């Protein structure tokens, strides 16, 4: 069975979409090959890497990518994980399915370093739960 191609999009490809890519490739690698991109290409946030490493996910090869690199590729599922990306992302003419999963931006959370890191964990776990639920359909 061929793996389904899934592309996760958010505004900066620094937290939510990176988490979704890494979590999908870690937990559902038998069903999906995931990638991620942003409306803007930035850098993966250090807290994103920390909370992924806690689950045993190697974050050293994760990097921010621009969505234009994927517009003409054949993709089974394009998933926006923030409202901004859902509203402003271009069309993907070769994509088969579109999904929108809205998650808060952990980089906007204000608090102590520990509180911010805990919020990243919360968003990571919400994304993980959504991905595992989505994967049950395949």
Q: Mind giving me the DSSP string for 58-111?
A: --TT----BGGGTTTS-EEEEEE-SHHHHHH----TTEEEEEE-----GGG--S
**For residue range 110-128, what is the model confidence (pLDDT) as tens digits?**
999 999 999 999 999 999 9
What predicted TM-score, i.e. pTM, was given to this entire model?
0.95
CATH number where 117 lies? 3.40.50.2300
Domain that holds residue 120: 4-135
- Give the total number of structural domains in the chain: 1
- Which residues are catalytically annotated? 10, 82, 89
The pLDDT value given to residue 133: 98
Sheet holding 75-80, edge to edge: 32-38, 4-10, 75-80, 95-100
Point out the residues of the chain with pLDDT beneath 70.
Answer: 1
């Amino acid at each position: 069975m061929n793996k389904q191609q899934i592309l996760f999009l958010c505004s900066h490809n620094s937290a939510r979409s990176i988490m979704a890519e890494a979590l999908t490739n870690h937990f559902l690698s038998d069903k999906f090959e995931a990638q991620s991109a942003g409306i803007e290409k930035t850098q993966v946030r250090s807290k994103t890497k920390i909370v992924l490493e806690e689950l045993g996910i190697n974050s050293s090869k994760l990097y921010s990518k621009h969505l234009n690199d994927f517009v003409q590729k054949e993709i089974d599922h394009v998933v926006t994980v923030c409202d901004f990306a859902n509203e402003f992302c271009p069309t993907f003419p070769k994509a088969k399915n579109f999904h929108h999963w809205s998650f808060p931006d952990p980089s906007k959370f204000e608090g102590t370093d520990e509180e911010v890191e805990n919020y990243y964990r919360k968003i990571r776990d919400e994304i993980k739960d959504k991905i595992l639920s989505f994967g049950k359909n395949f």
